Structure 1
């Protein structure tokens, strides 16, 4: 019996040693090299898109068209840096609240300064921006978004409540805030080619909104390319802020409602913490202008540390997002009723279709338990949207004649070509 036991133990030890030897060989020859190679693979694959773009534009920056700029921005915003491109646009809107001439109008109209209106008005702004950025520059979808925005702005421009400087400054933020957020926090910085695309695209956006660039140094002689335009408008905007971004109660009243909207999809017990988190990335000039408290140093350190960890993870441990996973915020085509819907949302679920999943899926049940708004709740407009009716309720069903005239003009002007011709208007 003892002999049999010894033989069994010996055989088991032999098998274990053999298995261990096999695992050791597998680890040495395959698993360990794969683990070592994986970060290099991720890094190499992540740079493929930008290298491909650089190779495509060997002809230089001066010949870049709006169509080409749109295609580059689509890569930046949909697959390369979707999260921080969107955050840049969100904080561009946030930054306008630091200018009293702009926040005063928002308070008077109550569109972004009262809890009742802020969610829908924020969603309306997103609807127009999605089509202005996402649709082809000369497409009907893009042109209709410009026409609607011009109608809504035109009402206040005629009354002298929106100045050209207000529009030019807002344009500068949509130009430079995504770039600054990406360059500060993403896994790589934008190239001159990509910044040039931002300049080309936003020069055409300004033209489409009838904004005068007379305040810029090269207005009379023209800009040589989008990079040149970017730096001039960015410099003007930063000087403008030094003079006009000052504390005002209207700034706070507007900013605080948007802050509440940004954290509305989180549990109530987290809101005090998230208010401090939102203040963490704000520079002192903006924070003081909107009269927000400064975040404790621990929050700023945590935020910076988290963003550094995220940068490392994306650069070395995360494979690039494939094209079929490109971020899509809203439906592109209307349904049988002519309505479109948000697909993704990170604030109140305005214009979101209350499907069974959206209304009663696991995430929706959690929201219900936490008292967070779900698609289909009151004041979420689950019937969807039409671009021609976006904006404050007072403008719903209005402006069709003005929009048609604007669309006809835009169809002639928005050819998708290079926007850098001398402009005197």
Structure 2
């Protein structure tokens, strides 16, 4: 019996030793090299999209050193890569905080308080969603497409009502445009795994110059207005410089600023569990610079919150740079449905605030995530005041404008169809000036 036991033990030990030896060999020859090589693979693949853009458009290369002549179509295509697959999260956050930053200007927040569109709890979710609809089509659709032009026409109609009454100034329009231009860039350059190149900066300048033209915004306050801009890079820096000077003069504390900003802050954290909202209220203040924070009268985030936020963003940057494979094109986030359904309605496909204009499908309303949200007190698609029937661009905006403005929109669309050629907006400007 003892002999049998010893023999069995010896065989077991021998097999175990062989298994350990095999595992050690696998670790040494395959697993360890793969772990070591993985960060280098991620790092190498991370720049493929950028190199592809540079090879395709060739601006800023020895072959074509100037950025002059970039078209709106080219700029749109470059921005699509930046916003959809390279930096989707922070490009979107940049646009969200662009809206948030406008609340620091009393002349802007005063109108928002008067109209109650972004200063009253009941109105904020829909008005925020309406803004997202228009921007989604202006950024996401092809520059000369019907979707894009209709979004411009609707936005111009809504703004035009207040411009005629003298309640919206050109300076406030120009400043708001400047934030859509520079906030995504600043968020990406500060927190992402790489900074934007001049090619991408030029694309932002070209695209937003065309956006300003489409909204009839005057650029006469900029230094090169009379002579014209060489390229999108020059335009970007001139508008960015003007905007920062405008903030120094006009971004000042005001109770109306607070009334507007606090409602949007509540919306931004509304999809979080109730027990987390106190903490998240302080987190929202962490990335705010002192001028904006003081203008909207928010308390400074505790030092520990700012330290945590900065540390988290640094870890995220390292993770994306060395440990995350680049996002494939087919995974690009689609915010809105492109085509209307049988009832002529379109919907949001993703949302991070209240689920306004989201179709209450079985999964959206009763899936695991939705049921967890129900238990945590988070609103679901189909809840009251979420407009689950969807939207039509011609009717987005405050309720007083629903069903109105079609004649005015048709005139704008006719004008834009003639003017928006998809070419270089600076060449067109120089022709007009000449």
Same-fold call, TM > 0.5? yes
**CA-to-partner distance for each residue in 1:301-338, whole Å, 9 max, x for gaps?**
00000000111111111111100001111101100000
Structural mapping, 1:174-213, within 5 Å: 174-213=180-219
Q: CA deviation at 1:81?
A: 0.4
Give the match for residue 140 of structure 1. 146
Q: Which runs of 5+ in 2 are unaligned?
A: 59-63
Give the match for residue 320 of structure 2. 314
Q: How far apart are the structure 1 equivalents of 2:183 and 2:361? A: 34
2:94 is the counterpart of 1:123: no
Q: How far apart are the structure 1 equivalents of 2:277 and 2:18? A: 57
2:41 is the counterpart of 1:41: yes
Q: Secondary structure at the match of 1:71?
A: helix
Give the match for residue 76 of structure 1. 82
Q: Secondary structure at the match of 2:122?
A: helix
Structural mapping, 1:14-413, within 5 Å: 14-58=14-58, 59=64, 60-413=66-419
Q: TM-score, normalised by structure 1?
A: 0.99
**CA-to-partner distance for each residue in 1:54-111, whole Å, 9 max, x for gaps?**
1222234112110010001000111110000000000000000000000000000000
Q: How far apart are the structure 2 equivalents of 1:24 and 1:348? A: 53
Q: CA deviation at 1:189?
A: 0.5
**CA-to-partner distance for each residue in 1:7-66, whole Å, 9 max, x for gaps?**
211111111111111111111111000000001101111110001111222234112110
**CA-to-partner distance for each residue in 1:237-295, whole Å, 9 max, x for gaps?**
00000000000000000000000000011111111100100000000000000000000
Q: How far apart are the structure 1 equivalents of 2:70 and 2:110? A: 38
Q: How far apart are the structure 2 equivalents of 1:182 and 1:219? A: 28
Q: How far apart are the structure 1 equivalents of 2:129 and 2:231? A: 33
**CA-to-partner distance for each residue in 1:168-218, whole Å, 9 max, x for gaps?**
000000000000000000011101100110000000000000000000000
**CA-to-partner distance for each residue in 1:214-238, whole Å, 9 max, x for gaps?**
0000001111110000000000000
Q: TM-score, normalised by structure 2?
A: 0.97
Q: CA deviation at 1:367?
A: 1.6
**CA-to-partner distance for each residue in 1:361-405, whole Å, 9 max, x for gaps?**
111112212222111111000000000000000000000000000
